[in-house]
Structure formats: C-alpha cells, structure tokens
Structure 1
Amino acid sequence: MTSERSVLSVNQLNQQADRLLRAELGSVWVEGEVSNLRRYASGHQYFSLKDEQASVSCTLFRGNARNASPFADGNRVVVFGRAGVYAARGQFQLVVERLESAGEGQLLLEFQRLKERLLAEGLFAAERKRALPRWVHRLGVITSPQGDVQHDIARTLARRFPLLLPFRLYPVAVQGAAAAPQLVQALELAGREHAVDVLILARGGGSLEDLWAFNEEAVARAIADCPIPVVTGIGHETDTTIADYVADLRASTPTAAAEAVSPDATVLNRQLADAAARLDRTLAERIRDRRRILESLNMRLQRAHPGRRVEQHLQRVDELQQRLQRAIHRLLDTRQARLRQLTLTLRVHSPAHRTLVLRSRLQQLRHRLLQARPSRLLQTQQRRLDGLRDRLKREVGHQLERQTTRLAVARGRLRALDPDAVLERGYSILLTRDRQVVRKAEPALQGEPLRARLASGALDLRVEAVHPADREGKPASDDA
C-alpha cells in the first residue's frame, strides 16, 4: 500500500512561510543600528538592522524611502514594517514602511501616547468642532514673521479674495523651546481680542523634531479652548500633528489653509453674474405680471364706473316701483275680498238673524222634551248616578289602603337611612377641622384633632395612631 504525500516546491514553502509570518507577526516597530547600506538607481535601499546579539535584513522601497529620515551606516534608527520571507532566497526580512532616527522614535511614542489620551478626552470629536463662517471678513494668521508662510498666504488671498488683505498677523516662533509657549499666548490673545473671524495656525515643512511644538499638549488645549475657529496648515500633506487633530479644520499646507478660508473671486464673480441675470429675469417677469394686473384692474374700474352704476340703480328703481304698484293692487284686492267676507259674516250674526235661529231651535227642543218624558229620564240618570257613587267610594277606599301601605314602607326605609338612627345604635361620625367626614384611616391624619358626633352631643379627639386596612378593607390590627 502506498501512502499519498503532499510535496511542496521550495518556492511554495517559502511563500507559505511568508504568509504565516505576515499573518502571525504582522507589522512591527524595531530599533537597531544600520549596517551594510546599499542604495540602487531604482530608488530602493537595502540594509541590515542589528543590535549586540542579532541582525535582520531590511528592504526600503522607493515609495517609502521618500518619506524616510536621512540615515547612513552606523546610525541608530527605528523602523516600522512587515515581517516576511523573501521567497527567492528563503531569507527572513523586514519590508520597511517608515524609518526614523532613534530620537524620532521616542518622539513618535510620545506623540502616540498624547494622541490616545486626548482622543479619550474627546478633544478630537467631530461634534465639538465648529464650522467656519460662510463669509470671513477678518482673518488672523499665527506663524513666524521671518518665514515664507505669511507670504504664501498673502499671495493666495491676493489671487482668490483680496478683500481679506491685510490679515492680522500674530508673530510667533514655530520651532524650538520657545515655540509652544508663544503659540499658546497667541491663541489666548486672539481669543481675548476677538478681532478676527478665523485663525490660521501655519508653518512650513520639517522633521518631526521641527514640528514638535505643534504636538505639545498645551498647544492642543489652547486650540480647543480658543473661542475662534482654528484652521491648521502645518508642514506638507503627509505631516500630521496633534494640533491638526484638535483644530476645527485641517489643511494639508499653509496655502491650502488660505484657500479653505477664502472664497474664489472668479467663482464669486460668476455666481454674481448668474444671480444678476436671474434677478433681471425675475424683475422682468414681475413687471409683466404687474402690468397684467394693472390692465385687469383698469378694466374692472371701467366696469365699475360711477355713471354705469347710477344707470343700473335707476333701472333698479323703476323695477322696484313697478313691483310696489303691483303689490299695492294685490293688497287692495285682498282687502276688498276680506271686506265682502266680513259683511256676509256680519249679516249671518246680526241680532235679528240670531233671534230667528234661536226661536227655531227653542221650538225644536220643546218638541223633543215633550217626546222624551223627563220624569223617566231623570229616574234612569239617578240610578246611574247612584251606581257611580258606590264605585267611587270603593275605589277611593282601595287607593287609600294602597297609599297607606306605601307610606309605611317609605317611612321604614327613611328611618333606616336616618344618620341619627345609626348614631342611636352606638356609631359616631368623625369630622375634620374643616367639617369634612373621615372615611379612611390615612397616615396624614396622625396627630390631627377630630370631632366625634354621637347620638347625643359630640367629643373632641386627637389621632394617636393610624392602622391601615388590609386587602379586604378590614383594619390590619384590631388592637387599639
């Protein structure tokens, strides 16, 4: 039986070792002494980094070499790179991404510590940064009066927006031991004066040591406390300082900072021209609209001319006069018809006519009376009246008995609801000082004076203790 084996080529082995190192070790900082430095025309550099016990091969490619500090054989440096294996020779090496002198390494460590601490305090938070004013009218610049920075800013403003010239210069040292205190003083002075809308904090490029004043904690806190928005333009595009993180806006260079606070005059002129054209079009449209409105009002005025209205009113008067005459004629006709009806009615109800009608009625009644024999009718009606009298007596008796019974029942209910009857059974009514009835035992009553109304008389009491009720409404304790 043959067992299957996985066989690697040498290149595959070295590549797997390289991937393993990259995954497990990753990027590291290493400090050591440079030896066997070799520079090639391609811009790549190769050297060894050694200490007393060991050495490691290092490769610095051209893209990373441009940002590296100057170094030579024998220099002590700090490098940051990726550990791996050069597969062609199976050689362990460090691909360097950043190289600084050993002194810069210590500064970089201090930079990282301060950056992490201020980040934790929230000095870099986006929500605390202020937006720049849309239009800057007064500009302040904190920089060295001897360098080219102020001239670069002035040339940029003259090209883009000359109205910001001259700017307010706060002269300071931007390098050395005196730089940080002067930067703090300038920021505090600008905040007290409040003579500018925006501050530019700027200097030219340099090494980490040259820019260190802008990494001081005092400068960072002065920027954070400054009531005026601060724009930083420090060093080159690849340089980043603590001041850049704290500032309200970070520009890559002093020139970029000047561009950030100044509008482009060419763009503004084009915008103004566009706005003027839009304004002309808007005014022309408004004038046309107003002209149409004026013409409409003129036509309405002609239709509402007083002469025409008078003519219309005269015509209306004629119509009303005709309607009035017709109404008068209809009223006269109605009154005449009514008068004829009343005359006829009066004739019907005249005394002579009435006498004749009554005499005829009397004769008819006399005839009916003779036929009806009144004595027999009176006897019948008398018997009927006696029967109704007996029924009335019986009904009155029954009603009286029912009402008497209901009255007795109501008297008993009323007696049961009478508070005095309850008091007669040994109960009492408790009243507060303001004559309110006490219905529940509440903690607020403790120490309060009460009056107990009895069946006869009253007692003045004071609450010594309150016993709250249980879930069923009974006192929690019957011991009183």
Structure 2
Amino acid sequence: MSDAPVFSVTELNQCADGLLRDGLGLVRVEGEVSNLRQYASGHQYFSLKDENASVSCVLFRGRSRQAARFADGDAVQIQGRAGIYGARGQFQLIVEALQPAGEGRLLAAFQRLKEKLAAEGLFDAERKQPLPAWTHRLGVITSTQGDVRHDIERTLARRFPLLLPVTLYPTAVQGAQAAGQIVAALEQAAAEGRVDVLILARGGGSLEDLQAFNEESVARAIAACPIPVVSGVGHETDTTIADFVADLRASTPTAAAEAVSPDAATLRHQLARARERLSGLLGQRVARHQQTLTALHTRLERRHPRQMLERDAQRLDDQRERLQRAWSRLEERARVRLQHARLRLAGASPGTRLASARMRLDHLRQRLVRVRPDHDILQRREALARLQRQLQTATHQALVARQRQLDATARQLRSLGPEAVLERGYAILQTTEGEVLRAADQTASGERVHARLARGRLDLEVTATHGDN
C-alpha cells in the first residue's frame, strides 16, 4: 500500500466538507422541489431536482425569513453553500435564500438595465427637473381600478380643499400591455401640455407585478418627458427603474400626492403669521408718529413767539391729517386682504366642493354618452377567439411532435435491449446461482448451467472447457 495519510471516516467527511465549502463558495441553483419535510424544530428538508439528477437541501429555521413560501412541485432558485453531512457522508446544499425561479431572472434583468441606464446618465441629479412651487393642474397616470386613484384624490382633498384640478390618464399597471400604455400616456400628457406635474403610481406587488415599471421603454419615456414626473410605485420597500429615472421618487402613491399639493393648514398658518407681521408694522408706524408728535409738542412749548406757535400748530395739524390718511389707507389695505383671505377660505366649504363635484360628474356623463365601447368590445372578442384557435392548433402540433419523438426513442431503446440480441440467436449462460458467465474459466466440467434464449431456457451440463485459443 502507498504511504498516503490515513483518515478516519469523520476526518474524511470533514475534509470533503471543507473542500466543497471553500472550493465552490456561494452557489445559485434552480430546480423543482420534491420530498419537502418540515420538522417541529422549524428546519425544512427537501430535494431539488431536474430531469437528470437531484440534490438534498436543508433550510434552517434561522434562514426562513430569507426564503419565500414554497411546496412540492414548485420551481425555485436557491442560494447557498455545498457541503457534506458528516453523520451520513451525504452531499447536500445548505440554503441561505430561496425565491421563485422566475424572480431570479427578473432581478438579473433589473440589475442589467439599471447599470445600463446609470451609465447613460439617466439617473443623474443634474438632469432631473424641479417641481413647480405651486401646482396649478395635476396629471395622474394610473389604473382606474384599485385604491390608488382614490388614495390620491383623498389626499388632495385633505391637504388642499380648494380642489386642485386633476387630469387622469388611465392605463394598465400590470401585464403585457401596461408598459406600452404608460409610455403612450406620458407622450399624450407631454403633447397636450395641460398639466404642470405628473404622478406615475400603482399599489404594491411582487417583482413580476411591478415589471411594467422596470421596462426600458417606460424609463426612457419618463426621461424624455418635459413635464416633471413623480413616481409613487408600490410600498416603501419597493424600488423600480421608474423610481430612479423620475424627477422625484415618493415611497407610496399617497406620499406622491402630498409632495405635489400645498397643505391648507400650512397656508392658514402662513396667513396668520402675515397678519401678525402686518399688525406689528402698523403698530410700529403709529408709535413712530406718536414719538414725532411728542417731539413737536416739546419744541412748541419751548418757543413763545405767537407766530411760531401758530405756524407750528398749523404744521402739527397737517401732520395729524397726513397721519390719519396714512392710517386709513393701511387700515383699508388690511381690511381688503383679510376679506380676500375670508373669501378664499369660504371657497373651501362643503357646498362649494359639492357643486364642483357635480359639475365634474355632469362632464363625465357627457363624455360617457359620446364614447361607445360596443365596437371595441366586439373587436377584442374576435381577437380573443383567434388567439384561442391559434393556441389549440399549436398545442395539437406540439403533442403530435412529442408523440413521434417518444415512439422513435422507444424503438431505439428496444433495438439496444438484450431481448433484441437474443432474437438474433445468441444466448445468456448463467450458473445455478444466477451469475452470468463471460469466460470459460468461470465453470468446470460436470457443472450444470442454464442457457437463456429469446424464448425459453435450457438446462445444460458442461462436458469440457476451453480457453480463448
């Protein structure tokens, strides 16, 4: 024997485990889950398989938060480290993260597009447009279904009851048509030029649900839009390519509405402060005039000649009249500003808002009368029928091709099997214990052997043995 070092079984398994962990490092593997078992300890054991092989996997309880829910038959992508389970010498993967297989591809595509657009400068702060100090008309690009539109409207009504005008550009926010509709809405808003800020919004969802906002066409349309765009996609933890390109990224649709609308409470506070400053300025002006009057009175008392007294008295009357006129003008200006503020606040009353809402409702009813969706629905039904027929034809052709491939494989398998060899006149010799004879020296004269033919079996007795020569 060689002078190679001698390992115990434990040492050998530990050495192999170390080589696998250090040599392979962190790996990512895709496959189908099978034989899922979960123990009271919280650990989960399963096999990950493909068409040709399988590997044992373990997901410890401490790593469960980094793993999506999964079950037998699910296609998943795992990230983990390869190793040896020492007690049985079994190769296994220790899972550190798990996600559906499709999300891995989406994440990779997301990262590639992010790096590409960043290299082109689409995320640079220098190219982003500032929002206007005061939004006069707001545009919203979102779906007419769901709560996002209503959340934005409620937020605007809460923050600015004077009814900020809103133009809705309805689009799909999920599915194959969503990206194209979003691009069309951005281009339409830019061509019309009716709004000075756009909100691009939808609710939260999975990476696949938000895929429309990770499309390159949407990102480039946002970058090319001459109107400032505020993105409010998903929840605070959701990040899309649209968020990086937008002129302002809001964590939620509600936050986006707050970012573009003035706050009525803040405006009231600013108005109150302006009123206080005006009152203070008027008080200071009156105090200065009083000081002037006092000084004039003092100088008058110091001068006894009658003419000087009368002249000073006349000058004093003139100053008093000018002061009164100035005071009246300041008081009138303050009254006008206060009346204007009251009128603006009165415009935010429920009656005014209700009348405006009724006008909008009448306008929408008129638009609904002009738009007839019957023809569009008929066209969509015909297109759906064509797609169904195409799907049935393609499915039938695929099944026929697969059946032909299966028949050819079966014929090839039968031609290579032992039965085909026996049909050509060959036989398989076996000892009485069932061992297959491949050489004459495996038996001796006088022993009994069995000969297996294509049909039936012969019991034979060896009379003599001969070598290859």
| TM-score, scaled relative to structure 2 | 0.53
Task: Give the SS at the match of 2:205.
Answer: coil
Distance 1:67 1:148, change over 3 A: farther
Among the aligned pairs, what percent are the same residue? Answer: 62
Any conservation in 1 of the 2:66–2:96 contact (CA below 8 Å)? no
Task: Flag the 1:28–1:271 CA change in 2: closer, same or farther, 3 A.
Answer: farther
- Paired with 1:74 and 1:232, the residues of 2 have a C-alpha distance of 37
Aligned CA distance change for structure 1 residues 289 and 208 (closer, same or farther; 3 Å): same
- Residue 224 of structure 1 is matched in structure 2 by 223
Partner of 2:103: 104
Other structure's SS at 2:33 match: strand
- SS of 1:34's equivalent in the other structure is strand
* CA–CA separation in structure 2 for the residues paired with 1:165 and 1:88: 69
In structure 2, the partner of 1:211 is 210
Task: Tell me which of 63, 76, 81 is aligned to 1:83.
Answer: 81
How has the CA–CA distance of structure 1 residues 212 and 26 changed in structure 2, closer, same or farther, with 3 Å as cutoff?
Answer: same
Contact in 2 for aligned 1:139/1:164 (Cα 8 Å): no
Change in 2 beyond 3 A, CA 1:20/1:48: closer
Partner AA of 1:99 in structure 2: Q
| Equivalent in the alignment of 1:154 | 153
Rate the CA distance shift 1:188–1:83 in 2: closer, same or farther, 3 A.
Answer: same
Measure how far apart 1:221 and its partner are.
0.4
Task: Return closer, same or farther for 1:280/1:88 CA change in 2, 3 Å cut-off.
Answer: farther
- 2:153 and 2:285 mapped to 1: Cα distance? 44
Q: Deviations over 1:326-353 (max 9, x none)?
A: xxxxxxxxxxxxxxxxxxxxxxxxxxxx
For the residues of structure 2 that align with 1:130 and 1:215, how far apart are their CA atoms? Answer: 21
State the alpha-carbon separation in 2 of the partners of residues 204 and 244 from structure 1. Answer: 14
Counting only pairs closer than 5 Å after superposition, residues 38-437 of structure 1 correspond to structure 2 as 38-39=37-38, 47-51=46-50, 52-59=52-59, 65=65, 68=68, 70-79=69-78, 81-83=79-81, 93-100=93-100, 102-293=101-292, 295-296=294-295, 307-308=307-308
> 1:224 offset after TM fit, Å?
0.4
In the alignment, the residues of structure 2 paired with residue 86 and residue 134 of structure 1 have an alpha-carbon distance, to the nearest angstrom, of 64
Whether contact under 8 Å (1:19, 1:84) holds in the other structure is no
**Per-residue deviation, 1:142:** 0.1
Equivalent residue pairs, number: 296
Asked whether the equivalents of residues 20 and 83 of structure 2 are also in contact (C-alpha less than 8 Å), the reply is no
**Greater Cα shift, 160-169 or 42-51:** 42-51
Deviation at 1:40, TM superposition (A): 6.7
Q: Which amino acid aligns with 2:134?
A: W
CA distance 1:302–1:50, change in 2 (3 Å): farther
Q: Provide the residue aligned with 1:337 in structure 2.
A: none
Structure 1 position 28, deviation (Å): 4.6
Tell me the distance in 1 between the aligned counterparts of 2:285 and 2:98: 66
Give, in whole Å, the separation in 1 of the partners of 2:26 and 2:162: 50
Corresponding residue SS for 1:30: strand
Which sits farther off after the overlay, 159-168 or 208-217? 159-168
Are 1:144 and 1:171, in contact at CA under 8 Å, matched by a contact in 2?
yes
Offset at residue 294 of structure 1 (A)? 5.1
Secondary structure, in 3 states, of the residue corresponding to 2:140? strand
Q: CA deviation at 1:117?
A: 0.7
Residues in 2 aligned to 1:247 and 1:63: alpha-carbon distance in whole angstroms:
35
- Give the CA RMSD over aligned residues: 4.1
Q: Give the direction of change, closer, same or farther, for the CA distance of 1:308–1:82 in structure 2 (3 Å limit).
A: farther
Please give the alpha-carbon distance, in whole angstroms, between the structure 2 residues aligned to 1:86 and 1:267.
65
Q: Which runs of 5+ in 1 are unaligned?
A: 1-9, 311-480
Q: What is the one-letter code of the residue matched to 2:135?
A: V
- Seen in structure 2, the aligned counterparts of structure 1 residues 271 and 217 have a Cα distance that, compared at 3 Å, is same
> SS at 1:163's partner residue?
coil
The corresponding residue for 1:29 is 28
In structure 2, do the counterparts of structure 1 residues 153 and 178 end up closer, same or farther at CA, with 3 Å as the change threshold?
Answer: same
Q: Partner letter of residue 210 of structure 2?
A: L
Greater Rg over alpha carbons, structure: 1
Q: Which residue of 2 aligns with 1:476?
A: none
Secondary structure at the residue paired with 2:154? helix
Distance 1:33 1:87, change over 3 A: closer
The answer to whether the 8 Å contact 1:138/1:164 transfers is: no
Offset from partner CA, 1:308-329 (integer Å, 9 cap, x none): 599xxxxxxxxxxxxxxxxxxx
Superimposed CA distance per residue, residues 277-336 of structure 1 (whole angstroms, 9 cap, x where no aligned partner) = 3443344234323433454466668889994599xxxxxxxxxxxxxxxxxxxxxxxxxx
Instruction: Report how far residue 97 of structure 1 moved.
Output: 3.5
Q: Secondary structure at the match of 2:34?
A: strand
Q: In structure 2, what is the Cα distance between the partners aligned to 1:205 and 1:42?
A: 33
- SS where residue 173 of structure 2 aligns? coil
2:418 equivalent in structure 1: none
Q: What letter matches 1:110 in structure 2?
A: A
Aligned mates of 1:301, 1:162 — CA distance in 2? 59
Shift of 1:42: 8.7
The one-character-per-residue Cα deviations of 1:125-184 (angstroms, maximum 9, x if unpaired) are 122222322332221110011222101111122222233544110111112222111111
Checking the alignment, whether the CA contact within 8 Å between 2:45 and 2:56 is kept in structure 1 is no
Check whether the contact 1:141–1:202 (CA below 8 A) recurs between aligned residues.
yes
Give the corresponding residue for 2:435: none
> How far has the Cα of 1:75 moved from its partner?
1.6
The answer as to whether partners of 2:204 and 2:233 remain within 8 angstroms in 1 is yes
How far apart, CA to CA, are the structure 2 residues paired with 1:292 and 1:21? 91
The one-letter code matched in structure 1 to 2:81 is: A
Please give the secondary structure, in 2, of the residue aligned with 1:162. coil
Q: Secondary structure at the residue paired with 2:76?
A: strand
* Cα separation, partners in 2 of 1:267 and 1:33, compared to 1, 3 Å: same
- SS of the aligned residue for 1:96 comes to strand
Give 1:123 shift. 0.7
**Residues 33 and 49, structure 1, Cα contact 8 Å, conserved in 2:** yes
TM-aligned CA deviation for residue 202 of structure 1: 0.8
2:289 & 2:73 partners in 1: Cα distance? 88
Aligned-partner Cα distance in 2 for 1:178–1:227:
24
